[in-house]
Amino acid sequence: MCGVFGVFGLEGAERYAYFGIYALQHRGQESVGIAVSDGSTIKLVRKAGLVLEAIKAQDLEGVRGNAAIAHVRYSTAGDSGFINAQPFYRETSLGPVAVVHNGNLVNYGTLRKELEEKGYAFQHSSDTELFLILLEDGEYVPPHVDLHPKDRDLLPRIFYVMRRVKGAYSLLYLFPDKMVAVRDPMGFRPLLMGRIGQGILFSSESCSFDILRGQLWRELRPGEVLVVDSAGIRSYFPFPHSRTAMCIFELVYFSKPESYVLEHWVYHVRKRMGQELAREDKVEADVVIPVPDSGVVPALGYSQETGIPFEMGLIRNHYVGRSFIEPTQELRDIKVLMKLSPNRAVLEGKRVVVIDDSLVRGTTSKKIVSMLKSAGAKEVHLRIASPPVIGPCFYGIDTPTREELIANRMSLEDIRKFTGADTLRYLSLEGLRRCVHHPEKFCDACFSNLYPVEVEETASRIR
């Protein structure tokens, strides 16, 4: 999982990129990078770690310009080492190009083998490199597309790339004099466009525009290619509309609650998840408490629907990062204990409904239930505001392998016993689908096992 950000047409673009990508820190914490164009050259800064700690003022001094792209990385394909920190950069026959990518390709192995056989040299072990190498490999212009004269060299290459890759990609290309934003035809990952003065912004989530005091303009549509340069903005749809498969997990967990992504305000969807869960539920309890932070909004919805008071029974220590996006299980477990403290003032002698956004391996929930009981809760009713996770993701979210998913190995009653909760209930798949407009436009494969793009190879999830 990753975050991408872009800015075009603003002096000091490197600073806008720094703050814009900082707003997406929750989407990846392994590395951060910024590529900046001054109109003729592209310069890069790439660092391991968190945005504010890794990038220093002097790093930005050396990369000044009026257009920039930026990336925060959480590895889903390729090893998690620094070698795969983005943006990726390449000198091509079109000149220098940098690219940032959010998503995961399902035919990386096949394409890489084919391109290596043709003699292309790869420098990284991540699928993102295909977006640079394929630019050199061919051209394609669909018969219905009428290219603007300024796009006749570049866009046939980008359409060719889109024709060859399969899977999820929201990406930004930076050329010395232009930026190109691309969203895959199924629209798995979000990509938003914003404005600030005369400048154009792009981001994985609208929260980047808020931090910069910019305005959300619109979301790129699935399959859209947008070119921005000194001549203006041009939009293309090179491929006929097929099925849309936006990732519902973005709304369930990954995006920030104040963001607009995938045609929804995340806050509204999360609150509906809690309300739907409450409608499907019958439990006598004294308080509803969230697992912070991602359980907070569903718990509010649950509380408002049932009338059971909302309280903060678990307090988050804000100096610890999110456990979900630590790469190893061991680190995740330690962090759960470090980041949450039980609040006895709320819990002692109470029948508690505790709401979490999802239950993946079950180990976190087990620790939370035990923590609540140790702090005096009389009963703990565990409620999950999404359905059981039964399938891995091949399109860019780091859900575990099928074997690690607890709902694949245990019955509901066995999971309840494993977590130690008095009762356990999940939101139904139908209930989750009711939380979004047009559920048919979403991928919910990790909850339903209905995969919208066939996965060609098991190696597409290199872990």
- Positions touching ligand SF4 (CB under 6 A) are 188, 247-249, 393, 395, 397, 399, 443-446
CB atoms near residue 454 (< 10 Å): 9
The answer to the question of whether 229 is labelled as a binding residue is no
Q: Which is nearer to ligand SF4, 51 or 446 (CB)?
A: 446
The answer to the question of whether 294 is labelled as a binding residue is yes
CB of 22 to ligand SF4, least distance (A): 24
Q: Which is nearer to ligand SF4, 374 or 449 (CB)?
A: 449
CB of 272 to ligand SF4, least distance (A): 17
207 part of the active site: no
d(CA 20, CA 51): 10
Helix, strand or coil for residue 190? Answer: coil
Report whether 420 contacts 373 (CB < 8 A): yes
Beta bridge partners of 340: 316
Report whether 38 contacts 65 (CB < 8 A): yes
Helices (H) and strands (E) in the chain, counts: 17, 23
Helix, strand or coil for residue 51? Answer: helix
d(CA 201, CA 187): 19
The answer to the question of whether 235 is labelled as a binding residue is no
DSSP class of residue 391 equals: S
DSSP class of residue 144 equals: T
CB of 173 to ligand SF4, least distance (A): 23
DSSP class of residue 357 equals: S
266-279 burial by CB neighbour count: b if 16+ within 10 A, else e? Answer: bbbbbbbbbbbbbe
For residue 367, how far is the Cα from the chain centroid? 26
The answer to the question of whether 357 is labelled as a binding residue is yes
Burial (CB < 10 A; 0-12, 13-18, 19+), residue 179, is buried
State the catalytic residue, choosing from 2, 377, 384, 406. 2
The answer to the question of whether 177 is labelled as a binding residue is no
Catalytic residues, which ones?
2
Q: Which residues make up each annotated binding site for Mg(2+)?
A: 294, 356-357
- Can you say which residues are annotated as belonging to the binding site for [4Fe-4S] cluster? 247, 393, 443, 446
